[in-house]
Structure 1
Amino acid sequence: MWPDSLVRELVEKRCIIHLGSGISSQSTNENGDRLPSWHDLLDYLKEKTLTEANDIQLVNEFLEHKKFLDAGEVIRTKGSDAEYNAKIREVFIESGFKPSASHEVIVNIAPKIISTTNFDTLMESSLIDNSGNDSFTQFDHTRDGLLDAIRSPGTILVKMHGCAKHSSQTILSRSDYFKLRKKHRQFFELTSSLYKVNTVLFIGCGIEDPDINLLLENNNIETDSSNPSYALVGSRSYAYKIRESIRSQYNIQVISYEQESDNDHTKFSEKLCELADKVDEVRAKHGTVA
């Protein structure tokens, strides 16, 4: 069940919806392909950017043990920057992926702020398809004006770790993160504050994914608050298995959708639609915040 308190936060636009790689995996291109998992992306980048056998073997060892941030570190520090930039664009921009029904549901829920650590442009495309190019303002660490936009009534899309359109500015490793945090300090301090003072609903986020690791490690979600943030995860996921630890460590309450197997996400969109229906019901009864 979706908590009434979360629904109210969404209706009153006090909840940030954060999108992880799981929502992008709902999308396909005309060939029926899906975007790669973090493991598969890092494995692909390893093959395309690294030339030294020792580096390749090290990445293989990190991938085997699901140490994805460490694998990304080797790729970014030892690999070809030119190949990295080209392959990020190839995977996320040039492969023709289209927004999924889940992206449309997020648009219809209409939060004030949508944030994502995804490199793809699927959320942007869905917002444009729904309401046009002027329906939202997009920010990442390279663009100023986020604070002014927060004070305005419009929808905001925050690309926390950059966009594949500007692949050299994407964040894949800890060194990427701290290098860009030092250069764009105001952006990262502001986004950290947003995560601390707002309820956050994490959708499609694996707790072991490198982007979420970085986000949780470096943004101070308020752990002593009586009002939790929330995460939608599969009932067979690693995050669900350690849900009590997640609640105590990050003050994030896990909400699950049913899975028949580890790779079964057929109920994901259905669970999101249930949330959208509850939001619509409260809006119809009590009105909405502009």
Structure 2
Amino acid sequence: MIAWPEGLIADLARRRVIVVIGSGVSRHALGHGSLRPPMWEGFLRQAIIDCPNRDSLGPIEEAVASGDYLHACEWLKKRYDENWVSYLRRTFSAPAYAPAEIHEQILRLDARIVFSLNFDVIYERHANNIHHGSHIVKNYYDTDVSEFLRGGGRYIIKVHGNLNSPESLIFTQKDYARARIKHAAFYQAFDAALLTHTFLFIGSGYSDPDINLLLENQNFGFPSQLPHYFLSGNPMHVDRRASLRDNRNIKVLEYDRIDDAPTGLVAELIQLNSILEPEIEKMGTTNTW
């Protein structure tokens, strides 16, 4: 089991943590026909199989194999043309994915701010169902998205957009470049959040170019900052762990996957909540918020 850092526990109790959820969280949900939302690589490989224009798919397959997902996705989007949006919705929306135990455990952390890297609405649907619609959902392109920094509510920020507005999804190399310029205010707010909050990455990768750039800028601009935390169920080489800490100020917390689900992540979050609850009570009785 993870030896949860005391500083992270204290920040969670004080609601000074921003939880970042990725496709590894959505992967736990089940939809019609026992379908699960795909991870990025799995989505791209299936999109290649289903591609309506099958001429010269070799470069796209090579890009996926080398981990160049942004360009692979950009090239596939062009191949699908007007069928792209409907393909995304068939994949990420139509199966009607139901929230899983992991969504409940993340909700129980009671973070005031959750950043979702996912296009689906599984987590926000669950959160608003449990809390009767009280969560405020913002997209990176909303003009008032920076409200989450000082607002008094609980916020879910869609960092890459959602399928209700497919033209605004950040899914390709071009999408990232365009968003960085057109919606610079959001990235400034993100940058401010990195300076004032601890980030806990759950079920996400470490290849998002914009997040990496912000983390690196913060790390070298404010070298004395406490670390952010990244949960990983895959054994990570000591050199990569050191690189993430040295360049992005991310401390990796490894857990045992147990199986392909991965069930181990849910068990770790259950343990985290069991530690967190008495810490919140203690802070309340001692007025050490």
Same fold per superposition (TM over 0.5):
yes
Cα 1:237–1:129 shift into 2, 3 Å: farther
CA distance in 2 between partners of 1:105 and 1:71 (Å): 34
Cα 1:200–1:271 shift into 2, 3 Å: same
Q: 1:35 is paired with a residue of what secondary structure?
A: coil
Q: 1:115 is paired with a residue of what secondary structure?
A: strand
Code of the aligned partner of 2:254: S
**Contact between 2:119 and 2:163, CA under 8 Å: does it hold in 1?**
yes
For normalisation by structure 1, the TM-score amounts to 0.89
Cα 1:239–1:105 shift into 2, 3 Å: farther
2:30 corresponds to which of 28, 31, 35: 28
Code of the aligned partner of 2:271: E
Task: Tell me by how many angstroms 1:229 deviates.
Answer: 0.2
The aligned runs of 1:258-269 (5 Å cut-off) are: 258-259=256-257, 263=260, 265-269=262-266
1:65 paired to 2:62: no
Code of the aligned partner of 2:193: L
CA distance in 2 between partners of 1:139 and 1:18 (Å): 14
Cα 1:260–1:273 shift into 2, 3 Å: closer
Cα 1:136–1:231 shift into 2, 3 Å: same
The answer to which of 136-145 and 239-248 deviates more is 239-248
1:278 paired to 2:275: yes
Unaligned runs of 5+ in 2: none
CA distance in 1 between partners of 2:82 and 2:275 (Å): 47
* 2:204 aligned residue: 205
* 1:84 aligned residue: 84
**Contact between 2:228 and 2:249, CA under 8 Å: does it hold in 1?**
yes
Code of the aligned partner of 1:69: L
**Contact between 2:138 and 2:156, CA under 8 Å: does it hold in 1?**
yes
1:38 corresponds to which of 34, 37, 40: 40
1:153 paired to 2:152: yes
CA distance in 1 between partners of 2:97 and 2:164 (Å): 14
Q: 1:95 is paired with a residue of what secondary structure?
A: coil
CA distance in 2 between partners of 1:105 and 1:61 (Å): 38
Code of the aligned partner of 1:21: S
Q: 1:242 is paired with a residue of what secondary structure?
A: helix
Q: 1:114 is paired with a residue of what secondary structure?
A: strand
Cα 1:196–1:128 shift into 2, 3 Å: same
The answer to which of 212-221 and 159-168 deviates more is 212-221
**Contact between 1:50 and 1:79, CA under 8 Å: does it hold in 2?**
yes
Task: Tell me by how many angstroms 1:64 deviates.
Answer: 1.7
**Contact between 1:229 and 1:253, CA under 8 Å: does it hold in 2?**
yes
Code of the aligned partner of 1:250: R
What is the aligned length? 282
Q: 2:19 is paired with a residue of what secondary structure?
A: strand
The aligned runs of 1:71-220 (5 Å cut-off) are: 71-76=72-77, 78-133=78-133, 135-208=134-207, 212-220=208-216
Code of the aligned partner of 1:281: P
**Contact between 1:232 and 1:256, CA under 8 Å: does it hold in 2?**
yes
